[in-house]
Amino acid sequence: MITPSQPPLRTVGFWVRVIAYVVDGLLLSLVGGAFPLVVLSSNQTAQNQGSTGGGGTAIVSFIYFVIFWSHLGGGRTIGMRLLGLKVIGADGREIGILTAIGRWIGLWISFLVCFLGVIWVAIDSQHQGWHDKLVNTYVVHA
């Protein structure tokens, strides 16, 4: 018996994903930059506040991407929503929390290796970065 095949995925290319990520980055810089000031007590010195800024930004980034990429956020960050994009698993469904966490870790690894894992989206036939390949996800038109 022949079963109908799924239509090919309409994966999203490099530049559209970059624009969505820039939008997300701008939002995170506003929230992440303010986050340490909100959570620190007023008794701490300005010097201590400055030294914790990176940790607050990483926490906000983690929460933001994991929630929005997962089924909790519909697979779409704010930047992705503006451009009509969505993260899905290989099965075509929204991804779970653990997959989103793996994708976030993979994204940081992709950045740390001179952005090579992110640039990989531009040369990969399925437009997958290393973070996508790690957890078998795709960014598609919603």
Q: What is the pLDDT along the chain (142 residues), one digit of tens a residue?
A: 554 455 567 899 999 999 999 999 999 888 766 545 554 444 454 455 455 556 667 888 999 999 999 999 999 999 999 999 999 999 999 999 999 999 999 999 999 999 999 999 999 999 999 999 999 999 999 9
Residues 6+ apart with CB under 8 A from 73: 67
Q: Are 137 and 87 in contact (CB under 8 A)?
A: yes
Q: Which residues pair with 111 in a beta bridge?
A: none
Global pTM reads: 0.81
